Amino acid sequence: MTAARPETDVLIDADLIAARVDELAREIADRLPPDLLVIVVLKGSFMFAADLLRALDRAGMTPTVDFITLSSYGAGTTSSGTVTLSRDLSEDVTDRTVLLVDDILDTGRTIAYAADLMTARDAKAVHSCVLLDKHEKREVDIQADFSGFPVDDVFVVGYGIDMAHHFRSLPYIGVVRQD
């Protein structure tokens, strides 16, 4: 028998997420070419990326998609400070406009690593879109070009974001209760 998982409190509900994703797609469509290459940073951003890609399609864009797996957390709840690449792209980024899609911009190390990697591989332009921005945790001087929601320095879960591989399936962004 497995132990009951902790309860969560809703921080950002599913309807608010859906509305903001549609807004982000319109912002992106207004600023970037329709045939951009969307690079999804796995694993936490997969739900956000899927919804964003559908919204980009509704906004008239025709992006291609690839995936990269980067991590600085592992199974823990604090960043190790080192970004590791465990799954690389299959697409060539040379002379392409790239949109990096990630779940959370906190320390900035992961998105900076990915942006530097795409630049080194001769991408024409590299932009970033994140669902959540924990600005107060920033350790690298980087800002997202497109950002869903600012959040305080709390450990969030849901909508693809996990805590030790749990809570990804929640339809909202929540905070684990510390009862």
Report the alpha-carbon angle 36-42-48, nearest 5. Answer: 65
Domain 14-152 CATH assignment equals 3.40.50.2020: yes
What pLDDT does residue 73 have? 56
What's the confidence (pLDDT) of residue 158? 96
Question: What residue type is assigned to position 136 of the chain?
Answer: E
Q: What is the pLDDT of residue 159?
A: 97
- What phi and psi values does residue 20 have, to the nearest 5 degrees? -70, -35
Detail the DSSP E strand segments found in the chain: 8-12, 37-42, 64-71, 84-87, 97-105, 125-133, 146-150, 156-157, 173-176
Whose tokens are 């998105």? That residue is: 111
Q: Which residues contact 114 (CB under 8 A, 6 or more apart)?
A: 39, 41, 68, 70, 100, 102, 128
Give the span between the Cα atoms of 157 and 11, in whole angstroms.
9
122: annotated active-site residue: no
Which residue numbers in the chain have pLDDT < 70? 1-4, 72-80, 179
According to the model, what pLDDT value does residue 66 have? 97
pLDDT of residue 82: 83
Q: In this predicted structure, what is the pLDDT of residue 141? A: 93
pLDDT of 2 reads: 56
Q: Which of 9, 106, 116, 145 is catalytic?
A: 106
| Helix-helix angle 46-58:14-31, to 10 degrees | 60
Please state, rounded to an integer, the average pLDDT across all residues of the chain: 91
Q: Which pLDDT does position 3 carry in this prediction? A: 57
State the burial class of residue 94 (Cβ atoms within 10 Å of its Cβ: 0-12, 13-18, 19+).
Answer: exposed
- Using DSSP's 3-state secondary structure scheme, residue 122 falls into coil
Q: Can you give the pLDDT at residue 160?
A: 96
134 contacts: CB under 8 Å, gap ≥ 6? 104, 105, 106, 150, 151, 152, 153
